[in-house]
Amino acid sequence: MSVHATTERAALRLATTLLALGTLAACSTTASVGGAPSIGTSSAITVDDLRARLYAYAADSMMGRDAPGPWNDKATDYIAGEMRRLGLEPAGENGTYFQSVLITQTLDVAASSITVDGQTFRANTDFLPRWQAPVMRSIAGAQVVHGGTWGSANTMVDPAQTAGKVVLFLVPPQPNGQPGWQANRAALTQRYANAAGIVVASLDAMPAETRAELGAATPALRGQQMPPTMSALPQFFYVTGAAARAMLGGDPAGMQMGATGRTVGGSIVFRETAAQARNVVAVLRGSDPALRNTYVAVGSHNDHVGFNRTPVDHDSLRAFNAVVRPGGADNPARAATPDEMTRVRAILDSLRRIRPARPDSIFNGADDDGSGTIAMIEIAEAMAAGPRPKRSILFVFHTAEEDGLLGAAYYAEHSTVPRDSIVAMVNMDMIGRGAATDLPGGRPGYVQLIGSRRLSTQLGDLVEAVNARRPESARLFFDYQYDANGHPQQYYCRSDHYHYARFGIPVVFLSAGGHRDYHQVTDEPQYIEYDSFHRVTTYLHELIGELGNRTSRVVVDKPKQDPNAQCRQ
């Protein structure tokens, strides 16, 4: 599951990964699997197989599987190796199991400069640009306007005054009185979409580490086009106080919001390079000659969020989150109250009695989405053993989900089978938990069901019917509350199925829900509920088989959305 959209996050993590490579040793206790012989598993879906595979896939040696980067290649090598071993057809690019999804955009420092009144400002020294879109406006010849102070509509200039201009913002001090540097790039870009450039005058206050991170590189979709509704986005860059004064022709702190400044020249140039981020795509060919060129798509995501440069104590973090952040990164970071701290200490003391402290820096992503990835491999293994469904099963292990569903966005735009030959899409993300201690309502077989009736009533009914015919001990408990229109958690917009639904493909998304380890270094295989994980996986196997054996497609009886519109939960 990806996080809510936030500013600057993806680039921060990417840069963190690049900086830390080679300086941080992995403290693995589990054997590496990338390129190694496969684990001995049976064709049946068993608790032991799920556990053995997940311990390998979420091992520290995978370093958090972040995309783009070498660890995403390692993870996807393992998946492709299993698809080959199981005899599935490669269905990526050029006869391989892989589809390359990302490029990185890197600033050409030598070719980028800004000039004002004959003075030249240097990239990454006087100003720090951010890549925004495949087409960004030129700032050459644009006049600078004082945009006010980043914050609310009251403190910022009317966007009507900034079309074609370079609009410069100040940042308010931090609560502790230190100079502030953060402004929301996405929000500013949306509000001032018609400006030539957006400038935030906070480079002097930006921490050196952040400065290096933001200057490193930005991942972006390969071959990305501008959306049909817009031709270009404004440039965005941070500047030093000296550059800001030159651009406005005076001290910004002493000038009125809306005041006009100088005319700027120069250009900002980004270069594109290939990035290591791959979808793995494999087909289990169907048995029916009339139906085998249609597909049931099955999806999960192969990436997670990498690793930190600074380790934390695993048990302290987990005890703290149990009390203060039971939803992990879905809950805001805050300090514990004294009463909460007492409870945290009690948990930690009990853990210290059974094991020593352990520093941890790797986001293993055992549940997110090691669980979905491993479930798909086990389902592929079971189906490959036969009998095969009538329709073909299209297994898509998406990359860069955590960067904003990029692998799925790319696959939906560049599907390697005709898009209208995909009859339905089944997505699984975080299906290994759902215990009573994880979230309210949790129990063995607990599943949050999302999207199943948004396009097709028939699909929603089928999802229920397959469950109802299972023996009571194997039945799932569907929780529909997160599927409600406008639900604040936005799960419908936060995993890969959304990009299939955009194009009118009926989708169903299963997740066992959030927990204290969500997007924390503590999302490890020993905290998975293997019996429940097995129950969900065997159910998915049946559901996918049922969809594959139906001779008619599930009927789309609800309105399709505009594929270019913003996702609405």
- Chain positions contacting Zn ion, by CB under 5 A: 1, 368
* Crossing angle (nearest 10°) for helices 457-468 and 530-549: 130
Please, which residue, 213 or 368, has the CB nearer to Zn ion? 368
CB nearer to Zn ion: give 368 or 524: 368
157 backbone dihedrals φ, ψ, rounded to 5°: -65, 150
Cβ 78 to Zn ion shortest distance, Å: 19
Nearer to Zn ion, 62 or 243 (CB): 62
CB of 361 to Zn ion, least distance (A): 17
What does the alpha-carbon distance between residue 521 and residue 439 come to, in Å, rounded to a whole number? 19
Q: Which is nearer to Zn ion, 107 or 277 (CB)?
A: 277
Query: In the bound complex, what is the minimum distance in angstroms from residue 475's beta carbon to Zn ion?
Result: 27
Compare residues 283 and 400 and give the one whose CB is closer to Zn ion. 400
Q: Is residue 438 classed as helix, strand or coil in its secondary structure?
A: coil
Nearer to Zn ion (CB atom), residue 1 or residue 86: 1
The smaller minimum CB distance to Zn ion, of residues 198 and 329, is found at 329
> Shortest distance, CB of residue 326 to Zn ion, whole angstroms?
17
Q: Does residue 453 contact residue 506 with C-beta atoms inside 8 Å?
A: no
- Minimum distance from CB of 527 to Zn ion (Å)? 15
Q: Say which residue the tokens 């048990």 belong to.
A: 315
- Nearest approach, Cβ of residue 429 and Zn ion (Å): 7
Q: For Zn ion, give the closer residue by CB, 81 or 514.
A: 514
Q: Alpha carbon of 560 to those of 294, 460, 556: distances in Å? A: 20, 16, 8
Joined tokens for residue 47: 């608790």
Q: Which two tokens stand for residue 564?
A: 């270019």
Quick one: how many helices (H) and strands (E) in the chain?
13, 22
Minimum distance between the CB of residue 543 and Zn ion, rounded to whole angstroms? Answer: 23
Q: Is residue 392 helix, strand or coil?
A: strand
352 Cβ contact partners less than 8 Å away, ≥ 6 residues apart: 315
Question: CA-CA distance, 330 to 516, in Å (whole number)?
Answer: 9
Asked, as a colleague might, if the bond just before 289 is cis with ω within 30 of 0, I would say no
CA distance 345 to 98: 47
Q: Which residues are within 8 A (CB) of 467 and not within 5 positions of it... i.e. 6 or more apart?
A: 475, 476, 478, 539
Query: Closest CB to Zn ion among 1 and 156?
Result: 1
Q: What is each CA distance from 469 to 349, 426, 550, in whole angstroms?
A: 46, 19, 16
- Minimum separation from the CB atom of position 444 to Zn ion (A): 23
Q: At what angle do helices 208-216 and 9-20 cross, to 10 degrees?
A: 100
CB-based contact 95:101 (threshold 8 Å)? no
Minimum CB–partner distance for residue 501 and Zn ion (Å): 19
